[in-house]
Amino acid sequence: MPEFPYSRLRRWPDVEAENLQAHDATDLLLVARALAEAGERGLDGTQIAVIGDEYGAVTLALTDAGLRGIRVHQDLATGRRALARNAADLGLDGFASHELDAALLDGARLVLLQLPKALAELEEIADAVARWAATDVVLVAGGRVKHMVLAQNEVLGRSFSRVQAQRAERKSRLIVASEPRPVSETPPFPVSAQHEGLTLVAHGGAFAGARLDIGTRVLLDALRLASRFLSEERSDETKGVREPGKDVLDLGCGTGALAVSYALAHPAAQVIATDRSAAAVASARATAAANGVADRITVTQDDAASEVATASVDVVLLNPPFHLGTSIHTGAATRLFEAAARVLRPGGELFTVFNSSLGYRAELTRLVGTTEQLHRTPKFTVTRSIRRP
């Protein structure tokens, strides 16, 4: 059998750069282990589930090897689109995408996992495997050694009686978990927490969990201080364009803190909240429901607001990421600035919070329009950009 053409895989629509690849050594180790397990245990593709396959390297390599019917869960919309595109480019099919639920794992005897960054996400995944997969399931989790911690073994040990770390190869390592433990009647996620009248609900894969992260808190404080920009006291540049704040987009909404806070403060507003993470979308929907504003917030999984109409919103709220997976890369923020510029009406406003060291103000001015600083702390800066005509 010819070697799978990993080099043909692309990250698109995710950021692409010379130092960002669509596969790594962990993918190769997972594939090799899966093929060995399938051969030794007589598994077919319908008994295999793949979780966290960033751009489809594991799923497509196994499909190419003849394992049909694999079930796959990718948290990110970018990963789902990259998998579909890579599959089409290679002429491969015979796999099915699922959410992290019983349909993904029912009857699965082998689960392959690219280890997530967050221990909470790993805990939710491990519980789901123990809860819904076959009783003889083997979970093979892999990651880059430099990003692995002993706590990951401890988390897996809560759901599995046997957890064995394998020898590192090519700076990656596999952890094999088996013999699932009995699960509690209620899954450990989502969790919730109260924050000064705001209830946040979070699944394990949602950024910051049920906490109100510092950047979001700073942006919310700045919006309260700058409420004149969202009232009748408009600048000459935006006065008369449209009644302010009617159509609002929380771009990269996470658990929905910004979207829900805005909806609570502005009862006439209709809010769209989008995020590329399935865990974030589920969390934001639950947060909206917990705060009684689900009827005014539409939450969708999307990449960089690709499904939001051009020039259709008055206000964009944005707390952009500056990581792509485990890599620090400003490209993710740039894509969101471009998206904000596209969806804002002329005179519409983009409120952004970012790490002060990143100095995004010039880029926001270039991509969106006139940008001013509203608030600054030792760590974060909040800006307001006016969409040029």
For the stretch 342-359, pLDDT in tens is 999 999 999 999 999 888
Confidence of residue 330 (pLDDT cuts 50, 70, 90): low
pTM: 0.91
Mean pLDDT in residue range 369-374: 96
Mean pLDDT in residue range 358-379: 94
Say if residue 379 is exposed, middle or buried (CB neighbours under 10 Å; 0-12, 13-18, 19+).
exposed
CB 15 within 8 A of CB 335: yes
- Evaluate if residue 64 carries a pLDDT over 50: yes
Residue type, 167: R
Which residues face 50 on adjacent strands?
72, 112
pLDDT at 20: 86
CB 271 within 8 A of CB 262: yes
Q: In this structure, are 263 and 154 located in the same domain?
A: no
Q: What's the total number of domains in the chain?
A: 2
Q: In the structure encoding, which two tokens stand for residue 298, read together?
A: 């539409």
Q: In this structure, are 66 and 207 located in the same domain?
A: no
Which residues face 240 on adjacent strands?
none
Q: In this structure, are 173 and 200 located in the same domain?
A: no
Whether 363 is covered by a domain: the verdict is yes
**Percent residues over pLDDT 70 in the chain:** 92
Round the average pLDDT of the chain to a whole number and report it: 92
Residue type, 73: H
Confidence of residue 234 (pLDDT cuts 50, 70, 90): very low
Cα–Cα distances (Å) from 361 to 32, 337, 385, in that order, read 47, 11, 9
Q: Which of 20-29, 66-75, 237-246, 293-302 has the lowest mean pLDDT?
A: 237-246
pLDDT at 240: 41
Q: In this structure, are 163 and 236 located in the same domain?
A: no
pLDDT digits (tens, 9 = 90+) for 261-291: 999 999 999 999 999 999 999 999 999 999 9
- Evaluate if residue 242 carries a pLDDT over 90: no
Q: In this structure, are 199 and 139 located in the same domain?
A: no
Does an H or E element contain 134, and which?
Answer: none
Mean pLDDT in residue range 197-213: 96
Q: In this structure, are 84 and 206 located in the same domain?
A: no
pLDDT digits (tens, 9 = 90+) for 72-120: 999 999 999 999 999 999 999 999 999 999 999 999 999 999 999 999 9
Q: In this structure, are 197 and 175 located in the same domain?
A: no
pLDDT digits (tens, 9 = 90+) for 129-140: 999 999 999 999
pLDDT at 230: 46
Other C-beta atoms lying within 10 Å of the C-beta of residue 372 = 15
- Evaluate if residue 69 carries a pLDDT over 70: yes
Whether 228 is covered by a domain: the verdict is yes
pLDDT at 60: 98
Q: In this structure, are 165 and 207 located in the same domain?
A: no
Whether 186 is covered by a domain: the verdict is no
CB 63 within 8 A of CB 86: no
Of 155, 180, 205, the residue at which a domain comes to its end is 180
Of 115, 145, 180, the residue at which a domain comes to its end is 180
Measured distance CA(209)–CA(192) in Å, rounded: 9
The number of angstroms, rounded, from the C-alpha of 301 to the middle of its chain's C-alpha atoms is 9
pLDDT at 326: 43
pLDDT digits (tens, 9 = 90+) for 118-127: 999 999 999 9
pLDDT at 323: 46
Mean pLDDT in residue range 28-49: 98
pLDDT digits (tens, 9 = 90+) for 151-185: 999 999 999 999 999 999 999 999 999 999 999 99
Q: In this structure, are 205 and 330 located in the same domain?
A: yes
Question: Helix and strand tally (H, E) in the chain?
Answer: 11, 18
What proportions of the chain, in percent to the nearest 5, are helix, strand and coil? 35, 25, 35
- Any idea what the CATH number is for the domain that residue 204 is in? 3.40.50.150
Whether 75 is covered by a domain: the verdict is yes
Whether 185 is covered by a domain: the verdict is no
Measured distance CA(27)–CA(377) in Å, rounded: 41
**Percent residues over pLDDT 90 in the chain:** 86
- Evaluate if residue 220 carries a pLDDT over 90: yes
Whether 281 is covered by a domain: the verdict is yes
State which residues form the domain around 78: 6-180
Q: In this structure, are 165 and 199 located in the same domain?
A: no
Q: In this structure, are 60 and 206 located in the same domain?
A: no
Q: In this structure, are 22 and 170 located in the same domain?
A: yes
Measured distance CA(77)–CA(13) in Å, rounded: 9
Measured distance CA(389)–CA(373) in Å, rounded: 21
Of 135, 152, 180, the residue at which a domain comes to its end is 180
Q: How large is the greatest C-alpha to C-alpha distance in the chain, in angstroms?
A: 73
